Structure 1
């Protein structure tokens, strides 16, 4: 029996304010509190998304889409913890006895709120939004899961609910390592088409922002580069890496019918890096980086493969922890917190 399971078996189920350093949270122990871009790292959030689009007159590539990019600020709040959540089960029969084998979980609530600073798309649609506008709100849970029967290859989960009409279950594991983590490159070009942006005119929106980076910084052909830039000159002592994947085990995404027909969210992979950073005075600060890739499926593939073209919707950010003790409740947007 693991130490985690033994500890939870000695507790009654409880829902309380989450506290940094709580060992029952396992790899999430440093998350409770408020993470934000402001005031220290404004505008470090970036995302890109391809969308079906009725093009303006004169647009030549078909079927038509637009590539929308945002620079944004975010608040990510981890506020409540639900401990010793029981999933009832039984173990294998031994000596004629069927033992109980209950799984006990620790669920950490989160709420994500994102407001854009600038939006731009190509071809231009007039739909890129206004500065300060809300572009994302997401309540969810991070689950630290015990494994009483040693049957699972995953021990944590992310449950996300998206107001567009999506519900996501991503599963994974955590790794703690000294120093900074390596940020892997992400292929953000659509899958199912020739990915040569110089030779394939269908990728004109990607070539446009490759030749003219968004805000002179963000290149959609190398979307994680700015995470590496954000780590330059930072003394990262230790990194906790959390990886969630909706294609692992029983993970998946459920969507409302309109989304399935128009731009089906089929896969989600996200990696969070919790960084313990040494300050010049010898103290320690906390930073949080992430990259998330959601595949949106729409339009027939050009390569004859099964299904539809997969268009990566990529989001990245670097934030600092700005408050250890958030007040549970709506906190993503200023209008909600008023």
Structure 2
């Protein structure tokens, strides 16, 4: 489908049309933590099979680059012939394109690469929808995501990190998982850079520890939260579709981003970007949380 862009707006106009997404724009770099459980039937490295699954915990280094599209993207409304009262006018979408790259912080092994768009979507009357933010992403495993949510300013100016439980759950629901599935996660050794022992059960503690030195001087926080459950979903190539195989299929993605402004008493202000993301991977009839968190600084 051909996308026709209108003449590019000025920088100030772009910032206004991006809404709270404007605070995401730029280049960010920093460190994080990744928790994932993977099928391990194969004995070919990096797999270590023959086992049902393995637990992989990694300290990570990440760069995230976000650039304004530079023009509005008109989505065409329509109306029935001769009926102007019930028509839906066009809407104009502004957004950012992004590139995310994540490596193991110690071995420098590449762990993840993703590109896509963040979109600021205005309200519409047909269908009747409130304004929203949308994240579109493509991952070279053969998966694409569409997440929808909203952006807002934190009432107290600080981030709030909910408990993010890493416990796998049987799906479809059935008998509780036994120790053979739960103990390997409990026994998993944290990478040397991650020191909080609670990071296996709740990876969000890594975010709380990282931002603790700056909380006293934090002036504002923008919160962006998106989910594939709200509207959208996850698409996978046939190899990753559980309807035809038992391979690891991504079935749901939820993420929260916090853009924090810190103003020290004796220095210039700076910005910190933190995020927490939970992807559900389904294999062996079990939903396995794949959780990534990171604390990045504007470059």
TM-score range, shorter chain: 0.7 to 0.9
1:205 paired to 2:184: yes
The count of residues paired between Structure 1 and Structure 2 equals: 275
In structure 2, runs of 5+ residues without a counterpart are: 44-49
**Contact 2:14–2:70 (CA under 8 A) maintained in structure 1:** no
3-state DSSP class of the match of 2:94?
Answer: strand
**Contact 1:20–1:31 (CA under 8 A) maintained in structure 2:** no
> For 1:273-284, what aligned pairs fall within 5 Å after superposition?
273-281=258-266, 283-284=268-269
> For 1:72-221, what aligned pairs fall within 5 Å after superposition?
72-90=60-78, 97=85, 99-118=87-106, 131-149=107-125, 151-153=128-130, 155-177=132-154, 178-192=156-170, 194=176, 200-209=179-188, 212-215=189-192, 217=195, 219-221=199-201
- Alpha-carbon displacement from aligned partner over 1:126-160 (angstroms, at most 9, x marks no partner): xxxxx112111111100001123281145110000
> For 1:15-26, what aligned pairs fall within 5 Å after superposition?
22-26=15-19
C-alpha displacement at 1:109, in angstroms?
0.5
- Cα separation, 2, equivalents of 1:174 and 1:207: 35
**Contact 1:47–1:315 (CA under 8 A) maintained in structure 2:** yes
3-state DSSP class of the match of 1:232?
Answer: helix
Determine which of 219, 235, 252 is the counterpart of 2:233.
Answer: 252
Name the TM-score, length of structure 1 as normaliser.
0.74
- Cα separation, 2, equivalents of 1:13 and 1:290: 33
Partner of 2:223: 241
Name the TM-score, length of structure 2 as normaliser.
0.83
- Alpha-carbon displacement from aligned partner over 1:5-43 (angstroms, at most 9, x marks no partner): xxxxxxx72468978981211111112210001xxxxxx
Determine which of 244, 258, 269 is the counterpart of 2:254.
Answer: 269
- Cα separation, 2, equivalents of 1:20 and 1:221: 44
**Contact 1:138–1:160 (CA under 8 A) maintained in structure 2:** yes
C-alpha displacement at 1:175, in angstroms?
1.3
The change in CA–CA distance for 1:90 and 1:72 in structure 2 (over 3 A counts) is same
In structure 1, runs of 5+ residues without a counterpart are: 1-11, 38-43, 57-61, 119-130, 300-307, 323-338
- Cα separation, 1, equivalents of 2:211 and 2:13: 23
Report the RMSD for the aligned CA atoms in angstroms.
Answer: 2.8
- Cα separation, 1, equivalents of 2:206 and 2:38: 23
**Contact 2:41–2:51 (CA under 8 A) maintained in structure 1:** no
